[in-house]
Structure 1
Amino acid sequence: MGRRYRRDTRHADTELSTLTGEAQVSALDALISDARTLTYEAISVHTSHTLSAQIYGADPLDAVATVSDKYEVVRQAQPEHPRLDPLGNTLNAVMRLAKAHANLHEIDEQLQHGDVAVAASSVAETAGLLGELEGDRAITSEYVALMHSQLLRKRAAVRAELEYVAEQTCWVALHGAVSEVHAMYGVAVSSDGAPYENAVTPSELLFALAELGLARGRMDRMADDLVTHCLVPLMRRPHESLAVAHSPMGATLSIGAFAPLADAINSNNGGSGSDGGVRCELVRDKWAEVLRFVRSDVFHDVDVDEDLADLYAYLGSRMWRVVCPLVRSELLMPLVPACAEELADCGAMEPLLQLEDAWLEMRLITQNDLRIKAAVRDVVLAHVAKRRRDLLATVAAVLASNDDNTVVVGGSSDSSSEEGNGKGKGRGKTKGKGLVGDSDRLAFPRCAISERAQTLVDFVSETMALTAADSEETPPLAALYFHAVRDALILHRALSRPAASGDDLKRAFVQFNDCEFISHNLATLGLRHRGRWPPVLKASATFTDAISAYRGLGRLAMAPVLERLREQVSLALGSWQGQGASAEGALALACAIVERVCSVGSLYLSAEMFLRVLGVLVAPLAVFVAAQLEGVGAVGDVEARAMLRLVAPVVGLRDRFRYIAAGVAEDGVGFAQGACAPVSKYCPEWDPLMVQIDRLTALSSKIATNSI
């Protein structure tokens, strides 16, 4: 492309050759200063009038090139002159600045002509030139900054044009159930609607994107479109129709355009599409068509063996990384037999082994990417992975179900209570031997847990038994089953959420019991089976972290509920005023809160946990009432009896410390009828209250101590 202005240098050599010695070098210095000034002026004019191509004026690059030629003449005449090296460095800096200006000067015209690759190269070269000028004292930093601002605007313009061309070169159109991928061999019209002198081809577009570092981003979007709208639909609906239509301007790949015909094919095949081997063959053939479309039409004029080979391979690996896990789960897993004895017969997997051949043939993947073939060869592990997936799916379904039903576990009783249905008490069947009655397990306190926790523990026990049974013959199975158990535990913790409302006492108590029950079983789970584990698994496998995580989850379920109940008790006591009706109402409300917790806790909590919860709630009552009684001081007989009648509901809470384990009859295991746990053990604040009660009792001669 010719420049708009060329400096007249016909007499430059003659003028310089008439000088000698220092005068010649000084003249060269003046010429370099003039070239620098001319470059500054051109940059200033360019910055002020960016919208007019006629205002650019003189192109300083020709003048600087002329001075560069004169510098070589002087260099040959006086090679040892000490001023020439500094002058040469200054001239090089001016040359870089003039080249950068010339590049930016021509980008608009290059875009108008459709030379997007040249425009992108100009932007990349300008960025490099300006980077070399950073910190160069020979050039005023102000002009370097001006060039940087111009570079940003030009780069944005080139990028916008490239994005437009990329959208016109390859795009996806959706028409109901039909997907169409369009590939154009050339874009002839710019984003402004003006025709290009030369149509932009896919290779020019990709070269331009690569120059600006945008090519991989474009490949990512293209890979996502091809996977989402072509590869995955064909894998899940392999009988879907596929057609490719070509024209001189481009090609179109259509999926689902002939739906009635596809339905007829399905009916004629008698449902054979459900067969795993037939499905793999169809997917293999359909995917091969899509890959050929990518190679011959999307990369129409690109020699992927020579030019842009890395970019083409990146597109293939990007698509393969996404579809490979889907192939394993949706094509390979259904072909793995459920019975381990049938693993030797892998004839149905032959089409799946050929699935990667088309990717290799198109050079979209390499031999190092043959993950499906490796998975098919290791079919034993695939069989275990399938069983692991089925087990986890079962656990997920159970955990997602309603957990209102409960079962009573722990202790040694085999009696059963009525089966719950999520209503009323929500009590379920009692199980005393199946889980906690084994001789190798520590005793677990009797309480109520959810059926979800019961199912989880059953799953864990059964799967861990498989590790012990299979580990001697096939050591890898033990590790896979072990990790399946850990994944199930992680899934259970992820789906378990504390009760949203502090009033949901049953849910909070049952969640706490679930966590304690699971932790109790995990404490000895590894010890019972590790004797037959392979050495590697035996050295590292543990459930210790899961035990601590479950105990923390149990505390998280219980602590907020108790804190809220304590706050309710404190708020109720806050209405106490004197000894009238307000005091009676405050104590009645506070005791009612405790009674409600006792009625629910006695159905679900273990004896020890019930007493602890009761002690936590009675503590603020005992402290408050003791303080009120202490403030009364010495009173008469009538006042003492009145105070004792007032606080009688609080003193009566002592009877609540008589507790029978959940689901046990009155003559069963637990606290004997009439016996009472030491209240001060669970509520240390109870003794100061009883001191005040005894004091008031002593003041009343008509009331015996044991009648309170």
Structure 2
Amino acid sequence: MRRGRRFRQTHTTEDFAQLSGPAQLEHLSQLVSDVRAATYTAISAHTGQHSLSTDSAGDPLDAVATANAKYEAAQQHRDTLGAQLDVVGGSLRSIVRLAKAHANLRDSDEQQNSGDLAAAASLVSEAQVLLAELQEESDAENPASVATQAEEEQAAADMLRTVLVQKRAALRAELEYVGEEMYAVEDGMVSVAYAVERAADGAPYESAVAPGDLFFALGELGLAAALADRLADALAPLFLAILRSPQAPVTVARTPLGATLSVGGFSAKQPPQQQQDQSEGERLRLVRDKCALAVGFVQSDVFHEMDADEHGGVLAYVGARMWRTVAPAMRDLVARQDEGSGEQLAALVDAEDAWVDAGLIAPEDAWVRGDVRDLEHARAARRRRELLAAVAEAMAAAGANTAAVGEPGEPGEPGEPGASGGGGREGRKAKGGKAKGGDAAGRALAQPACVVSVRAQVLVDFAHATVAQLPADDSTAAAAAAVTATQQYLAVRDALLLFRSLLTAAIEAHTEDRRGALLAAADCEYVARGLATLCVREREAWALRGFHLLGSAAGLADVVAGYRALARRALEPVLEAARRDVRVALGRAWVAESLAAAEDEDKDEEREGEGEGEGEGERLAAMALACGVVERLAADG
């Protein structure tokens, strides 16, 4: 942003354009010589003076503008004038820089006295750039500076540099005074004045200096970082105090003239017992709310009515410097929440989000959210291991014990706590042998009467109990609920897969053990029905809790098919042996019947009757043998 006065030409170039090329060059050379003399005179007239004015020497800037316009018009004869025109142009460029730097330094006094410090700083900054460009060009074209023209130019430039140093120092002192008046820092308190109306010497400004003007002026002089560091170093301890003592009062007092942020002031300290009575969740909610209050003070009061596009860099600089101090304390607070709920951790994430939303830090610098995510994953993984260890211990304690479950012709309720744990028929009758109701919570697949291992009962009860304990997926802790729910589903799935692998190994190792095979098949069917019941009951809950459960729920439902396939696999050798025994037993009856049919029909009725009696006896004996096979199979199952 440049606020210096732009030069203007005093005469038109119409008559000049009618001249020939050599005539234009001669006229332009004389004009450049005149404006050079006027510029040097105007600058040298201020020797030893701190202030520049036009009273004694006039303002050469308008004449310089006229010469510059005629030089541009002379470009039409560049082909014929060539290097001569370049020499004139080089001299003119130096004069333009000197004249503009002189005008800027002269006008900066007026702007500073009126209170427009931003314009004054812009003029001083532009003058500094012009003199630096002049020095670079002088070093390149006249290294030794021996020519008379170069010496005069160097003397004028040195005089302006001296004035520049003086004006820059005076403006810096004025800006530091305004900064001290605008931002007052005390122990546990930061105050902001929305405007400063008087200069350091007590004279009133024509227009008050606002925070945006102050930071713009400091930025033009390259001094904004000093004030930004001071503000960040004053505000960071207030945020640390909030993190360390959430119960301490935090107030923002606003008036039309300014605002004050106070942390821990004007209040009696809470007794230790009262501090201990506050739950950790309440403390973290206080941290969230009070951090948001302090961030709002920084955004709306410290940088009062400042354009976010123009001054966003300053806000981000102050925020980043504060964050380097505050972030470690917030991360340490997260690390101490090992047993905290998802809602508590969400409060810390909200506190960090307030910084991001205000533009104090960039999203990639938000570390707390990542720390909370890592903590949630670690806690959920630990919970998963604990669940697996608990169910493994319970299944090991059950040993080889068995229990009767189900009722002939009545639906069972596998998975209900206490419904299948060794109570058998009596337990069913105590519940009336019926499902709890027609709603989804009472649905259960029919469980036929059979004998299962207590380990299978423990597994099904574990699956139902674990799914019932899933956290609610609310808006304050949705991420934590998703992680915990997924890990608990994985714990159930892992337990089911582990038990299935144990059953598979037992089936393969005892292919001739009919009782063991039937028990394994009953366990598989019992677990499959229990899981199917669970899927039916939780179907609506899965749909309501969101997409993060769909993968886990689908994996749980897929286990049902695996258990039923394993049940069929366990029964295959038993059924094959039973078929073989029945086929052998019934084969005797078929042979006897064939022999009786082949007897001579002409035989005596008495002998025929006796033969039929003998064949009938053979068939009855074979049927009895086949029934015995079936009864043994039923008894084993």
Unaligned runs of 5+ in 1: 338-342, 384-708
Letter in 2 for 1:324: A
Letter in 1 for 2:42: A
Structure 2: how far apart are the matches of 1:308 and 1:270?
Answer: 41
Structure 2: how far apart are the matches of 1:243 and 1:8?
Answer: 58
SS in 1 for 2:47: helix
The answer to whether structure 1 residue 272 and structure 2 residue 277 are counterparts is: yes
- Whether the 8 Å CA contact 1:188–1:198 is kept in 2: the answer is yes
SS in 2 for 1:373: helix
- Whether the 8 Å CA contact 1:45–1:55 is kept in 2: the answer is no
Measured after TM superposition, the shift of residue 303 of structure 1 is: 2.6
Letter in 2 for 1:360: V
Measured after TM superposition, the shift of residue 348 of structure 1 is: 4.1
Change (3 A) 1:56 1:159: farther
The equivalences for 1:434-583 within 5 A come to: none
Q: Counterpart in 2 of 1:401?
A: none
The equivalences for 1:217-296 within 5 A come to: 217-228=226-237, 230-260=238-268, 263=270, 269=274, 271-273=276-278, 275-296=279-300
Measured after TM superposition, the shift of residue 56 of structure 1 is: 5.0
Change (3 A) 1:300 1:382: farther
- CA displacement, residues 201-230 of structure 1 (integer Å, 9 cap, x when unaligned): 1111111122222222321211110012x1
Q: Counterpart in 1 of 2:34?
A: 34
Q: Counterpart in 2 of 1:299?
A: 303
Q: Counterpart in 1 of 2:168?
A: 155
Structure 2: how far apart are the matches of 1:26 and 1:120?
Answer: 40
Letter in 2 for 1:170: Y
Structure 2: how far apart are the matches of 1:48 and 1:12?
Answer: 38
Structure 1: how far apart are the matches of 2:73 and 2:372?
Answer: 74
Structure 2: how far apart are the matches of 1:52 and 1:68?
Answer: 24
Change (3 A) 1:245 1:12: same
- CA displacement, residues 332-379 of structure 1 (integer Å, 9 cap, x when unaligned): 243235xxxxx9x65543322322121122122222122112222223
Match among 367, 372, 395 for residue 376 of structure 1: 372
Structure 1: how far apart are the matches of 2:3 and 2:377?
Answer: 68
Letter in 1 for 2:88: L
The answer to whether structure 1 residue 356 and structure 2 residue 352 are counterparts is: yes
- Whether the 8 Å CA contact 1:46–1:55 is kept in 2: the answer is no
Number of aligned residues: 364
- Whether the 8 Å CA contact 2:284–2:344 is kept in 1: the answer is no
The equivalences for 1:64-103 within 5 A come to: 64-76=64-76, 80-82=80-82, 83-103=84-104
- Whether the 8 Å CA contact 1:13–1:70 is kept in 2: the answer is no
Change (3 A) 1:382 1:324: farther
Measured after TM superposition, the shift of residue 9 of structure 1 is: 5.1
Letter in 2 for 1:131: A
Structure 2: how far apart are the matches of 1:3 and 1:223?
Answer: 32
Change (3 A) 1:45 1:270: closer
- Whether the 8 Å CA contact 1:336–1:382 is kept in 2: the answer is no
Which structure has greater helix proportion? Answer: 2
Letter in 1 for 2:292: A
Structure 2: how far apart are the matches of 1:271 and 1:3?
Answer: 63
Q: Counterpart in 1 of 2:156?
A: 143
- TM-score (norm: length of structure 2): 0.52
Measured after TM superposition, the shift of residue 52 of structure 1 is: 6.7
Name the Cα RMSD after superposition: 3.2
- Whether the 8 Å CA contact 1:242–1:256 is kept in 2: the answer is yes
Measured after TM superposition, the shift of residue 111 of structure 1 is: 0.5
Change (3 A) 1:17 1:290: closer
Letter in 1 for 2:229: D
Change (3 A) 1:235 1:106: same
Match among 315, 318, 321 for residue 321 of structure 2: 318
Change (3 A) 1:382 1:214: farther
The equivalences for 1:652-671 within 5 A come to: none
The answer to whether structure 1 residue 128 and structure 2 residue 137 are counterparts is: no
Structure 2: how far apart are the matches of 1:85 and 1:51?
Answer: 35
Change (3 A) 1:75 1:205: same
Structure 1: how far apart are the matches of 2:110 and 2:40?
Answer: 22
SS in 2 for 1:271: helix
Letter in 2 for 1:116: L
- TM-score (norm: length of structure 1): 0.47
Structure 2: how far apart are the matches of 1:301 and 1:46?
Answer: 40
Structure 1: how far apart are the matches of 2:4 and 2:183?
Answer: 35
Q: Counterpart in 2 of 1:703?
A: none
Q: Counterpart in 1 of 2:193?
A: 184
Structure 1: how far apart are the matches of 2:280 and 2:215?
Answer: 39
SS in 2 for 1:69: helix
Measured after TM superposition, the shift of residue 124 of structure 1 is: 1.8
SS in 2 for 1:308: helix
Change (3 A) 1:353 1:72: closer
Change (3 A) 1:316 1:8: closer
- Whether the 8 Å CA contact 2:8–2:61 is kept in 1: the answer is no
Measured after TM superposition, the shift of residue 21 of structure 1 is: 4.9
- Comparing 320-329 with 374-383, greater Cα deviation is found at 374-383
Structure 2: how far apart are the matches of 1:3 and 1:382?
Answer: 61
Letter in 2 for 1:281: R
Q: Counterpart in 1 of 2:109?
A: 108
Structure 1: how far apart are the matches of 2:191 and 2:44?
Answer: 45
Letter in 1 for 2:314: L
Q: Counterpart in 1 of 2:334?
A: 332
Q: Counterpart in 2 of 1:592?
A: none
Change (3 A) 1:257 1:63: same
Letter in 1 for 2:312: A
Structure 1: how far apart are the matches of 2:280 and 2:378?
Answer: 15
Letter in 2 for 1:282: L
Structure 1: how far apart are the matches of 2:213 and 2:3?
Answer: 22
Measured after TM superposition, the shift of residue 12 of structure 1 is: 9.0
Measured after TM superposition, the shift of residue 48 of structure 1 is: 2.6
Change (3 A) 1:270 1:365: closer
Structure 2: how far apart are the matches of 1:382 and 1:259?
Answer: 40
- CA displacement, residues 497-539 of structure 1 (integer Å, 9 cap, x when unaligned): xxxxxxxxxxxxxxxxxxxxxxxxxxxxxxxxxxxxxxxxxxx
SS in 2 for 1:62: helix
- Whether the 8 Å CA contact 1:272–1:278 is kept in 2: the answer is no
Measured after TM superposition, the shift of residue 95 of structure 1 is: 0.5
Structure 1: how far apart are the matches of 2:110 and 2:298?
Answer: 32
Letter in 2 for 1:238: P
SS in 2 for 1:349: helix
Change (3 A) 1:381 1:322: farther
Structure 1: how far apart are the matches of 2:307 and 2:183?
Answer: 18
- CA displacement, residues 447-493 of structure 1 (integer Å, 9 cap, x when unaligned): xxxxxxxxxxxxxxxxxxxxxxxxxxxxxxxxxxxxxxxxxxxxxxx
- CA displacement, residues 168-226 of structure 1 (integer Å, 9 cap, x when unaligned): 2222134xxxx331112111111111111111111111111222222223212111100
Change (3 A) 1:33 1:198: same
Measured after TM superposition, the shift of residue 80 of structure 1 is: 3.3
Structure 2: how far apart are the matches of 1:141 and 1:369?
Answer: 50
Q: Counterpart in 2 of 1:509?
A: none
- Whether the 8 Å CA contact 1:276–1:334 is kept in 2: the answer is no
Structure 2: how far apart are the matches of 1:9 and 1:69?
Answer: 10
Between the aligned residues of both structures, percent identity stands at: 41
